[in-house]
């Protein structure tokens, strides 16, 4: 069965979908190829109707043997020959409909069997007499309605068979003169009326089928274009993901520092960077969250990478680095502001020096004690120039504090704290389970700690799919 799957199989290069759509509402598609494909498409739909109509019609046709015997006792043998003969032909056609070869001849076979069956009933009006012979044209009308309503053959063949059946009744009776003029006129008008109504039904059936088919092709073509476009976008996203993975740190600068990053989509707007100094005990950690998601946020995150790399000695002083980044970003990010924190951890002196821009407060973990580091109020990067921030009393500042021996420092983005439980969207991880999980995992080294905290987050969420990027960096203090 040659079913149509792609518009490219149908619409040739010289024929646009819209033109095909308009012409397809007629009764012949442009080009033999297109017409053949429509018929191949239309065949499975008509086949079911044809089989159903054959079963119902066959049953009614055989049941009417009792009417024949009652109305025309003298024609009992004729009735059996006509009714059973036509029924055998119909049953043979029904069996043949399950063979692939039926596709090539199905309309002509339906056309032929409908004419033969109808003309068999017409024969009773010639051979019979009296009122029953006059009334038997109603059986012809019933056959014609079956032809037009159920067999679903195309308009031209349906019209041709309808007129053949009607004329096979009207012309011989008019020539023989065995029926009164008024009775013949009455019966003839009934048959002609049935043909006209049937033609309308056949017309609308084929019109709807061709119209629907043409619409389907246009929709499929648009869907194909969308799929191709989506495939290209997926390829671009895979490339962007590979690029993002390149500019994120591949390894940790120290076994005492561990990061965990999980973008919500293929690429994300969270970013982190490790900065090394000549003093191996000192490590700079930058973590940020760009407003928004996906490609725009990832592009801005890549700009952060370049800006930090070009900052030179400014990396030695957190507030100076913030000013440098902000003055560059405020000209480019528009509404995609950036929250971030940059800190320098000195494990030898157990101190952390940091500056923030509207970011989530770092968490200090010391045994069972879990506290946030003190931070001045600040605004995200990219909203105002550094001069404007200073004028508003919101300029960047550097804070330095000592850290207890054996403690942990946790930096993160708000995807961690604001993750919601799927079964209860009002429940946030920060207020429900985060601090309990941190206390429970505090004794573990940083790598196991971040893994355990992420697993607790997934368990709380009820899924590994999140509404925001997840990024966290944990530092073990000697």
Q: What is the distance between the alpha carbons of residues 276 and 252, in angstroms, rounded to a whole number?
A: 10
Shared domain check, 66 and 26: yes
Query: Which residues are CB-contacts of 92 (< 8 A; sequence separation ≥ 6)?
Result: none
Tell me which DSSP letter residue 267 carries.
Answer: S
203 pLDDT above the threshold of 80: yes
Shared domain check, 218 and 335: no
User: Could you give the residue ranges of the DSSP H alpha helices within 64-154?
Assistant: 65-71, 76-96, 102-127, 130-135, 137-149
pLDDT at 12: 42
**Domain-located, residue 42:** yes
**pLDDT tens-digit profile of 379-429?**
999 999 999 999 898 999 999 999 999 999 999 999 999 999 999 999 999
Shared domain check, 175 and 254: no
Shared domain check, 169 and 73: yes
Of 223, 238, 262, which residue sits at a domain end? 223
Write down the mean pLDDT value for the chain. Answer: 86
Q: What is the distance between the alpha carbons of residues 13 and 467, in angstroms, rounded to a whole number?
A: 44
Lowest mean pLDDT among 19-23, 218-222, 308-312, 339-343: 19-23
Collapsing DSSP to helix, strand or coil, 3 comes out as coil
Distance, C-alpha 32 to centroid of its chain: 33
Q: Which long-range contacts (CB under 8 A, 24 or more apart) does 89-96 make?
A: 89/113, 89/116, 90/54, 90/57, 90/58, 90/61, 90/117, 91/58, 93/54, 94/51, 94/54, 94/55, 94/58
Shared domain check, 205 and 253: no
Of 223, 240, 258, which residue sits at a domain end? 223
pLDDT at 17: 45
Total count of residues recorded for the chain: 478
**pLDDT tens-digit profile of 160-183?**
999 998 998 899 888 887 888 888
Shared domain check, 217 and 164: yes
Provide φ and ψ at 154, rounded to 5°: -65, 160
Collapsing DSSP to helix, strand or coil, 477 comes out as coil
User: The whole model's pTM is what?
Assistant: 0.61
**Domain-located, residue 26:** yes
Shared domain check, 268 and 198: no
Collapsing DSSP to helix, strand or coil, 180 comes out as coil
**Domain-located, residue 239:** no
Q: What is the distance between the alpha carbons of residues 9 and 22, in angstroms, rounded to a whole number?
A: 18
CATH number of the structural domain spanning residue 408: 3.60.40.10
**Domain-located, residue 238:** no
Residues spanned by the domain of 363: 248-476
Of 223, 256, 286, which residue sits at a domain end? 223
Shared domain check, 193 and 67: yes
Query: Which residues are CB-contacts of 345 (< 8 A; sequence separation ≥ 6)?
Result: 257, 282, 283, 284, 285, 351, 352, 409, 475, 477
Q: Which of 95-109, 136-150, 254-268, 337-351 has the highest mean pLDDT?
A: 337-351
Percent of the chain predicted with pLDDT > 90: 40
Shared domain check, 177 and 36: yes
**Domain-located, residue 440:** yes
Shared domain check, 272 and 160: no
**Domain-located, residue 98:** yes
Shared domain check, 331 and 186: no
**pLDDT tens-digit profile of 303-336?**
999 999 999 999 999 999 999 999 999 888 777 8
The angle at the Cα of 149, spanning 145 to 154, to the nearest 5 degrees, equals 110
**Domain-located, residue 369:** yes
375 pLDDT above the threshold of 80: yes
pLDDT at 431: 93
Which residue matches tokens 């012979």? 133
**For the chain, how many structural domains are there in total?**
2
Shared domain check, 194 and 153: yes
**Domain-located, residue 256:** yes
């Amino acid at each position: 069965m040659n079913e149509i799957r792609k518009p490219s199989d149908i619409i040739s290069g010289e024929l646009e979908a819209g033109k095909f759509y308009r012409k397809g509402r007629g009764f012949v598609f442009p080009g033999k190829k297109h017409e053949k494909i429509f018929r191949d498409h239309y065949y499975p739909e008509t086949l079911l109707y044809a089989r159903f109509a054959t079963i119902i019609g066959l049953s009614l046709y055989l049941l009417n043997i009792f009417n024949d015997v009652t109305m025309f006792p003298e024609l009992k043998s004729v009735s059996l020959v006509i009714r059973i003969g036509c029924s055998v032909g119909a049953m043979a056609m029904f069996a043949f409909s399950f063979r692939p070869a039926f596709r090539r001849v199905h309309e002509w076979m339906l056309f032929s069997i409908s004419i033969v069956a109808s003309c068999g009933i017409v024969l009773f009006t010639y051979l019979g007499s009296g009122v029953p012979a006059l009334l038997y044209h109603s059986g012809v009308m019933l056959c014609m309605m079956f032809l037009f309503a159920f067999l679903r053959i195309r308009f031209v063949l349906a019209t041709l068979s309808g007129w053949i059946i009607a004329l096979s009744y009207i012309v011989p009776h008019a020539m023989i003169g065995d029926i009164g003029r008024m009775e013949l006129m009455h019966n003839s008008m009934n048959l002609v009326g049935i043909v006209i109504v049937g033609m309308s039904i056949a017309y609308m059936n084929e019109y709807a089928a061709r119209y629907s088919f043409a619409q389907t092709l246009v929709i499929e073509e648009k869907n194909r274009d969308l799929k191709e476009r989506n495939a290209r976008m997926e390829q671009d996203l895979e490339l962007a993901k590979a690029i993002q993975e390149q500019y994120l740190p591949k390894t940790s600068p120290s076994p005492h520092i561990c990061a965990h990053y999980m973008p919500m989509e293929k690429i994300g707007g969270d970013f982190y960077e490790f900065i090394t100094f000549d003093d191996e005990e000192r490590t700079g950690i930058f973590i940020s969250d760009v407003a928004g998601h996906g490609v725009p946020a990832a592009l801005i995150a890549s700009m952060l990478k370049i800006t930090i790399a070009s900052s030179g000695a400014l990396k030695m002083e957190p507030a100076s680095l913030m000013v440098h980044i902000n003055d560059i970003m405020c000209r480019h990010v528009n509404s995609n502001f950036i929250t971030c924190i940059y800190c320098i951890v000195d494990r030898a002196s157990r101190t952390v020096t940091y500056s923030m821009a509207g970011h989530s407060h770092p968490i200090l973990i010391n045994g069972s004690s879990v506290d946030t580091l003190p931070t001045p109020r600040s605004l995200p990067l990219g909203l105002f120039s550094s001069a404007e921030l200073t004028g508003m009393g919101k300029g960047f500042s550097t804070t330095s504090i000592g850290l207890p021996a054996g403690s942990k420092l946790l930096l993160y983005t708000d995807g961690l704290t604001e993750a919601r439980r799927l079964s209860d969207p009002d429940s946030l991880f920060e207020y429900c389970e985060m601090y309990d999980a941190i206390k429970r995992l505090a004794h573990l080294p940083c790598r196991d700690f971040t893994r355990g905290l992420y697993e607790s987050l997934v368990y709380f969420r009820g899924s590994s799919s999140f509404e925001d990027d997840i990024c966290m960096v944990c530092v073990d203090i000697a």
